[in-house]
């Protein structure tokens, strides 16, 4: 009789352990499903926001906004534009770093040369 009760007790304990593990697995499954739905919603929201940003940056939309606010913009003239090559941009950055460390007189001299170069 003791063997039977011991086997019955072990069987009940194993069954309870199995059921508790199944319940935990179902809970985890629900949590995963909720997180996947949340991820899907966030990805959809992200796509919608990217679309809105692209739409708001579109030239037609900007033009309509400017017209609504009565702002008149014109394209710059050729003399108003300056094309800087990557090499000259790097030289300007180096000159600025040298000027920031040098004395005030050298800043004045080099600054004047840069101003003359920009005019031509």
pLDDT in tens, 49-87: 999 998 888 888 888 888 888 888 788 888 888 877 777
How far CA 57 is from CA of 27, 63, 95, 99, in Å, comes to: 45, 10, 35, 38
The residue assigned the tokens 């007189």 is 105
Q: Is the pTM of this model over 0.75?
A: no
> Can you give the pLDDT at residue 60?
83
Span 13-42, pLDDT tens digits:
999 999 999 999 999 999 999 999 999 999
Bigger pLDDT: 104 vs 76:
76
Cα–Cα dist 91/94, whole Å: 5
Strand segments (E) across the chain: none
Quick one: pLDDT at residue 120? 38
> Tokens in use for 106?
């050298």
Q: Per the structure block, which two tokens stand in for 57? A: 């940056």
Whether 107 contacts 99, CB under 8 Å: yes
């Amino acid at each position: 009789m003791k063997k039977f009760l011991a086997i019955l007790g072990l069987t009940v304990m194993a069954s309870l352990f199995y059921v508790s593990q199944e319940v935990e697995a179902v809970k985890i499954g629900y949590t995963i499903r909720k997180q996947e739905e949340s991820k899907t919603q966030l990805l959809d929201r992200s796509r919608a926001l990217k679309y809105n940003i692209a739409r708001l940056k579109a030239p037609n939309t900007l033009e309509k906004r400017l017209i609504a606010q009565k702002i008149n913009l014109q394209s710059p003239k050729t003399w108003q534009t300056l094309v800087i090559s990557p090499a000259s941009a790097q030289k300007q950055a180096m000159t600025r770093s040298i000027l920031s460390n040098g004395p005030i007189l050298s800043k004045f001299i080099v600054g004047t040369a840069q101003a003359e170069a920009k005019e031509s």
